[in-house]
Structure 1
Amino acid sequence: MKKIITLTAAALCSFGAFAQSGNTKPIFYSMSFPNAIHHEAEVTMTIPDAPAGKLKVRMSRSSPGRYATHEFGKNIYNVKATDVSGKPLIITQIEGDVYEIAEHPDAVKVSYTLFGNHADGTYVGIDASHAHLNMPAAFMWVLGMDKRPVKFEFNDLDKYGWKVATQLKHEGDNVYSAPDLQYMMDSPTELANVKVSTWDVVNTNGKKQKMAVAVHSDDDQATVDNFTKMVQKVVLEEKAVFGEQPDYDYGSYTFLDDVHPNNFGDGMEHRNSTCIVDRAPKIAGNEGDLLGTFSHEFFHSWNVERIRPKSLEPFNFEHANMSSELWFAEGFTQYYGEMLLVRAGFNSVDDYTFTMAGLINSVLANPAPAKYPPTQMSRDAVFVDAGVAVDATNYTNMFTSYYVYGGATALALDLRLRSEFKLTLDDYMRQVWLAYGKTGKPYTIPDLQNTLAKLTNAKFAKSFFDDYIYGVKKNDYTELLAKAGFIMQKAMPDKGWMGRVSARPANGGLLIIGSTASNSPLYKAGLDGDDVIMKIDGKEAKETSALADAVKDKKPGDKVVINYHNRLGDHEANVVLEESPAYQVITFEKAGKELSQQQKDFRAAWLSSKVK
């Protein structure tokens, strides 16, 4: 979720130098690609002025923008250590991702082979077309030397026709630098034949900033240029929310975008850039689908990259990073990322009704939000944020994503500020930015509450945080949306519903995959994961369509007889159907109702462009 770019002789911007402490010699990485076609790179790390005693080097286990662990050490091998003349040193693997050199001279070289075949915002993807590098997944580092400056040399660029796109400082030729470990790890790098489109933004303080979109895809330059114009509109709408853009390092910000159908879709914010990986054939024809990630990730250049929760400062690369604030950091960003596409004119108001319904259903139609507050869902990110586990979980009943939980909370707060105080969520975000983002002071949840209290009053702020942040109370979305001329109603009124269930044909019936939801009739009737549904109302259930067919003509209160099998034998359950808890949102106009002038004004003030 962040980043900037430099490109050969035609660099996009001139880079200033970070201040470096004393005359400390930088740690130097050299990266080559003799076997890129088989997804391998060769990396050598040179460590000058190595301190006496045991020297420990390691791979990271976590990555900025991610909150779970990812065990990057599994993809390096052939680890060796030598002195600068090439004399071998004894290096011992003392943990899965930690190596130790007990005896060594002042200067040490550590080399290894890196494998990467998973292009997304977290891992590494290498082939003859590019090297897509998330730094924690690519480079070992020295324990205790996190303040050392760092330099990189990327080799074989001419061999593959690659350019370098990164927020690392361009030192000349193929050498780049970072002031310390934290900045290095926050600087994803794309080595590829990227196409670049740039424009300038004059910030509120009068400073000109260079903005760029750098794309590795099968599109032509005209397509990239046209898409960049769309991104420009989003950038201006987001700038309008905060009243200014951040003061980007080196005066530049770059969207890095890698587009290919074999990618693993992702977006990851970084301080002066964002790493976006799209699983699509190309940009052309998919602009609308791709733009949402750009909108979300760019909002992070304020919220997360500079408005930083104290719980993530500093980021620890050795284990999962837990935060109770992700409902705000990611959830409020989720809300703005989608809503601003309406302000920018890319999505219609009718389009946005589906987004609002999704946010609302995440907290009203799922079991977890009735029991757990958004703070708990935020802490669970250490398990669910692309975390790796092989055993079954009960997330169906105990987890709702902090993205949508926080997004629904932001939606409600925005509408309440507008209706109760003649203020907006933009006003609130601007105050948080001035107090914590622009000053660089990490925040806590009480800080967010205090900022809301200053904007509104202490009673409202305390009630909102007690009820909706620390508690599980839900806002009255029906009343709030009506003020803007929207109707919230049941998505399937008076229709029988047995619950959402994932199943597949197996063992002569339908195998239920995963837990059934605790608010569903299936759960209440005693069915759960690994049960095999054999018959529904006496008819064999061999295709998943049997589940929908069984309820299509039924009403709430009707019964469905399910015969199922598990390790205890054969069973029969009477499933009493209910009405689905899901809601839909539609405009007054679509319902044939006339908007009042007050509703028109409310909606326009909320969803119209704020770019002057």
Structure 2
Amino acid sequence: MLQYTLSFPEPHTHLFHVELELGDPDPAGVMLSLPVWIPGSYLVREFARHIVRLEAEQGGSALPVRKVDKHRWQLMPEADAGSVRIRYQVYAYDLSVRGAYLDQFRAFFNGTSVFLAVLGREQESCRVDIRLPVQCAHWQIATGLRPLAAGGYEAYDYDELIDCPVEIAQFQRLSFKACDVPHEFILSGAVCEDAERLVADVKAICEYQIRFWGAPAPFSSYHFLTMVTADGYGGLEHRNSTALLCSRQDLPQPHETARKQSYRQLLGLISHEYFHTWLVKRIKPMEFVPYDLAQENYTRQLWLFEGVTSYYDDLLLLRSGLITADEYLETLSQTITAVWRNPGSAVQTLEEASLDAWIKYYRQDENSPNSLVSYYTKGALVALCTDLLIRKHSGGTRSLDDVMRALWLHYGQTGLGVPPGAFEQLATQQAGEDLSAFFELALRSSHELPLRELLAEQGIEWQQRQALNQADKGGWLERLPEPRAGLGIKVEAVPEGLKVVQVPSGSAAERAGLAAGDVIMAVENHKVGGESQLQFPSARQGEGMLVHAFRRNQLHCLVVVLQCQPELTIGLRSASGLVFLGMGLSDQMKNQP
């Protein structure tokens, strides 16, 4: 067993102190390493850069440590000289779900940030002792690691050790059971005043998903580790827990009679990360079995693992009764709008986006919307199309649900990785019709998906219009806006004027030479102070507008030839109540006379 001891005697310094006791060290040499990325977030993050100091001793004497490369260290222990103790410090001030954080109010870490691996001994069990300083003695600990009767925590191996994040703070702990499995919802940074509603809604999500995949759940307990901040949002899945970041305004309040939009978004995030417990944590792409945490792990299948999850996260809220059919359609409208407005959707394929996640999706710049597609949003739309095609060709007797359960049976329960093309083959089997042409179009081309036609077959009306403003993310309007011309850019207000954030390919602004980072000061010699001043309802397409803008403190005068704003905002509505998606097929059959 490998013994880790973690302490933080001075939390305000943001330094975790870690000690690793290594029994029976190999006199031929010991190699230590820290992962360079964390599963679920596909970017090389170089966690070893936060190690401040590393030293070792054996038998009371210092043992030389040689750094081999960016994330590995080598020791040469003496034979028969006893255990080796490795001590190091980790700087932890990353307020995200991916790294480690420490101050005088809270401690949080993922094992990938703080626990060194002993190469060749990753299969050994690990024990972790966490020592709280006197000033933090009242803090609590929450983690998916197994508590030991004698104190401390245990993991079966290094893989489990780094897949169970730890929250340490004075937090709110909400406990409940879903399908007889203990769950805990941990809130740091704020107290949920309507804890009863939060617990009831999260329990509904968990119970539906456990039954969706088939009981029993593949874990004995589950933790939602939630940090509440002023404006945070995000999540990262783990085998029996998830790390969440949300805003205080997202939490439900006792006086709210309905579920507000921000709370529905939080429930969607919870649903998304919980669904990952099966799809990506246990049903993995073949390229991730096993993970290689020393370098990028390339796969063309992230559209499946993130996109299908993004499809089901809100759909299962609808099936659980937590959102209405109209609310679901509004969310789906916004997903379609996000893909349609993104010029990169016509440039990059989903398989390319999956492969390039390591260098593109997690490293976006001002040109990213013009060059890449989100495997989350477009992947969700591919899942929707697949679901509708299976239902159509099977005469309503099969759905995407059956594909997911087949994936669980063939890959999740066996530990085998999903090979490329397996999802497509299972979908074809469930449809009873060859879907290869659809997948060729959806995954390996950048052509438009047949969404409009498939939704129309289900009685869903499609509205295509101009956006009202930048805040308009999509949805049905009873009254369409009047057509207007404009610059076609995304801006944000700054003291000097309007800063250009994004210039879509082919827009009037791009043709005139405006670029991201430019600060527009005036249009037609009038000072601008708000986004509305870049909208010209009375202007005609082809009319020129004089724009004054600063670029790197140099004033430029440009003439922008206005173009009619593109109709890339989508709205959906249905008079039938979305029964075809609102319930699983088994639910529908229960309700049949």
TM over 0.5: yes
Distance 1:128 1:450, change over 3 A: same
Q: Deviations over 1:519-552 (max 9, x none)?
A: 422223443235554543x224543436534x23
1:58 aligns with 2:44: no
How many positions carry a matched residue from both structures? 558
Task: State which drifts further: 566-575 or 469-478.
Answer: 566-575
2:539 corresponds to which of 554, 579, 588: 554
- The residue type equivalent to 2:563 in the other structure is L
Q: Does 1:467 align with 2:441?
A: yes
Match of 1:522 in 2: 509
CA contact (8 A) 2:238 2:277 kept: yes
CA shift for structure 1 position 103: 4.8
Deviation at 1:337, TM superposition (A): 0.8
User: Hey, what's the Cα distance between the residues in 2 that align with 1:284 and 1:585?
Assistant: 27
CA distance in 1, matches of 2:414, 2:287: 17
Give 1:49's aligned residue. 24
The 1:366–1:586 alpha-carbon spacing in structure 2 relative to 1, beyond 3 Å, is same
Give the aligned partner of residue 426 of structure 1. Answer: 401
CA–CA distance in 2 between the matches of 1:347 and 1:227? Answer: 14
Per chain length, whose mean CA-contact separation is higher, i.e. which structure has more relative contact order (CA < 8 Å, sep 6+)? 1
Determine the C-alpha separation between the residues in 2 that align with 1:570 and 1:119.
39
Q: 2:348 aligns with which of 352, 372, 375?
A: 372
Which of 213, 230, 234 is residue 201 of structure 2 equivalent to? 230
Cα contact 1:259–1:281 (8 A) shared by 2:
no
For normalisation by structure 1, the TM-score amounts to 0.83
Could you tell me how far 1:196 is from its partner in structure 2?
A: 3.5
- Map Cα deviations across residues 472-517 of structure 1 (whole Å, 9 max, x no partner): 22223223233444322223263324313235558x7655345x21
Structure 1 residues 128 and 504, CA gap change in structure 2 (3 angstroms): closer
Partner Cα separation in structure 2 for residue 425 and residue 487 of structure 1: 22
CA contact (8 A) 1:33 1:156 kept: yes
Pick closer, same or farther for the CA change 1:436–1:246 going to 2, 3 Å: farther
Write the letter of the residue equivalent to 2:223.
T
Match of 1:14 in 2: none
Give the letter for the 2:413 counterpart.
K
* In structure 2, C-alpha distance between the alignment counterparts of 1:270 and 1:467, rounded to whole Å: 33
1:242 counterpart = 2:213: yes
Q: Indicate the SS of the match to 1:489.
A: strand
Q: How far does residue 67 in structure 1 lie from its aligned partner after superposition?
A: 0.8
Partner of 2:66: 92
C-alpha distance in 1, partners of 2:426/2:433?
Answer: 10
Task: Give the drift of 1:367.
Answer: 1.1
CA deviations 1:398-428 (Å, max 9, x no partner) are 1122111111211222223333432322222
Return the offset for 1:195.
3.9
Match of 2:284?
Answer: 308
- The amino acid that maps onto 1:522 is A
Alignment of 1:110-509 (within 5 A): 110-156=86-132, 159-202=136-179, 208-219=180-191, 223-244=194-215, 246-248=217-219, 251-261=220-230, 264-280=232-248, 283-285=251-253, 287-384=263-360, 386-387=362-363, 392=365, 394-421=367-394, 422=396, 423-457=398-432, 459-460=434-435, 462-492=436-466, 494-502=483-491
User: Equivalents in 1 of 2:525, 2:271: separation in Å?
Assistant: 49
Q: Quick check: 2:16–2:89 contact (8 Å CA) kept in 1?
A: yes
Change in CA separation of 1:310 and 1:499 when aligned onto 2, cut-off 3 Å: same
Q: Deviations over 1:76-124 (max 9, x none)?
A: 21321111x4321222334343323245455211111222122322111
- For residues 569 and 170 of structure 1, the distance between their equivalents in structure 2, rounded to whole angstroms, comes to 63
Rounded Cα–Cα distance in structure 1 between residues aligned with 2:292 and 2:120: 13
- CA distance, structure 1, for counterparts of residue 102 and residue 139 of structure 2: 12
Of the structure 1 ranges 578-587 and 568-577, higher mean CA displacement relative to structure 2 is found in 568-577
What secondary structure does 2:52 align onto?
strand
Kept after mapping to 2: 8 A contact 1:31/1:155 = yes
> Relative to 1, partners in 2 of residues 1:55 and 1:357: Cα closer, same or farther, differing over 3 Å?
same
Provide closer, same or farther for how the CA distance between residues 170 and 468 of structure 1 changes in structure 2, counting only shifts above 3 A: same
Helix, strand or coil at the partner of 1:490? strand
Range with greater deviation from structure 2 (103-112 or 63-72): 103-112
Task: Supply the distance in 2 between the matched residues of 1:257 and 1:305 (Cα, whole angstroms).
Answer: 19
CA 1:404/1:245 → structure 2, altered by over 3 Å: closer, same or farther? farther
- What letter corresponds to residue 48 of structure 1 in structure 2? G
The whole-number CA distance in structure 1 between the counterparts of 2:497 and 2:244 is: 41
Any conservation in 2 of the 1:559–1:577 contact (CA below 8 Å)? Answer: no
Deviation at 1:266, TM superposition (A): 2.2
Q: Please give the alpha-carbon distance, in whole angstroms, between the structure 1 residues aligned to 2:216 and 2:263.
A: 24
Q: Distance in 2 between matches of 1:92 and 1:405?
A: 47
Supply the RMSD in Å over aligned alpha carbons: 2.9
What is the TM-score of this pair, normalised by structure 2? 0.86
Answer yes or no: is 1:28 the counterpart of 2:3.
yes
My pick for the range that moved more, 68-77 or 275-284, is 275-284
Counterpart for residue 545 of structure 1: 531
Q: Of residues 50, 54, 57 in structure 2, which corresponds to 1:79?
A: 54
In structure 1, what is the Cα distance between the partners aligned to 2:300 and 2:129? 39
Match of 2:569 in 1: 583
Contact 2:210–2:216 (CA<8 Å) still a contact in 1? Answer: yes
Q: Which residue of 1 aligns with 2:477?
A: none
Residue range with higher mean Cα deviation, 442-451 or 173-182: 173-182
| Aligned mates of 2:511, 2:212 — CA distance in 1 | 46
State the Cα distance separating 1:363 from its structure 2 match: 2.8
The one-letter amino acid paired with 2:537 is: K
How far apart, CA to CA, are the structure 2 residues paired with 1:66 and 1:555? 46
Matches of 2:281 and 2:361, distance apart in 1: 18
SS of the counterpart of 1:353? helix
CA distance in 2, matches of 1:287, 1:569: 44
- Structure 1 runs not aligned, ≥5 long: 1-25, 203-207, 589-594
* Deviation (angstroms), 1:606: 1.3
Query: What residue is the counterpart of 1:512 in the other structure?
Result: 500
Give the Cα–Cα distance (whole angstroms) in 2 for the partners of residues 245 and 554 of structure 1: 63
Q: Provide the C-alpha distance between the structure 2 equivalents of 1:225 and 1:544, rounded to a whole number of angstroms.
A: 42
Contact 1:147 1:181 survives alignment (8 Å):
yes
Q: Distance in 2 between matches of 1:119 and 1:565?
A: 34
Once the two structures are TM-superposed, the CA of residue 566 in structure 1 deviates from its matched residue by 5.7
The aligned amino acid for 1:215 is L
Amino acid aligned to 1:66? S
Letter of the aligned partner of 2:508 in structure 1?
A: P
Sort the Cα spacing of 1:129 and 1:376 in 2 relative to 1 into closer, same or farther, 3 A. Answer: same
Q: Cα deviations across residues 248-291 of structure 1 (Å, max 9, x unaligned)?
A: 2xx222322232438x4321111122222223268443754432
Q: In structure 1, the residue corresponding to 2:148 is in which secondary structure?
A: strand
SS of 2:453's partner is: helix
Letter in 2 for 1:527: L
Q: CA deviation at 1:45?
A: 0.8
